[in-house]
Structures are given as C-alpha cells and as structure tokens.
Amino acid sequence: MGKLKIEKFSKNNDTVTRTIRISGETFDKITELADKNNLSFNSVINQIIEYGLNNLED
C-alpha cells in the first residue's frame, strides 16, 4: 500500500455534518498537515478517511 498524499481539490457539496472525537495528538498532526498544505482541517480529514476506506484489507 502506498503512502497517503494530501492533495488540493475542489469541494464536494454532498456533505453530512457529524461530530467525532479524536485524541489531542491526532488533532495536532492533522492541523499541522492542513496548515502545511494550505487546506482546511475538514479537507485533510476527508482525504485520510477516503484513503483508509480505499485501502482496507479484504
């Protein structure tokens, strides 16, 4: 499995609002990635989730 590459792409208007809980350490890492790539926190979260779902073991 290849590594996740954070990319800039257009927003999708088909969204659902949901509250999740993550550790402070994970939050800090995601915030750092978002800042480094000039993206929103939500954009990075969605890319991480999509990558994980696309790379699940059978």
Distance CA 34, CA 1 (A): 23
26: left (phi over 0), alpha (psi -120 to 50) or beta: alpha
1-58 confidence digits (pLDDT tens)? 788 888 887 667 788 999 999 999 999 999 999 999 999 999 999 999 999 999 998 8
In sequence order, the 6+-apart residues with CB closer than 8 A to the CB of 43 are 9, 11, 34
Residue 17's pLDDT is 92
**Are the CB atoms for 50 and 12 separated by under 8 Å?**
no
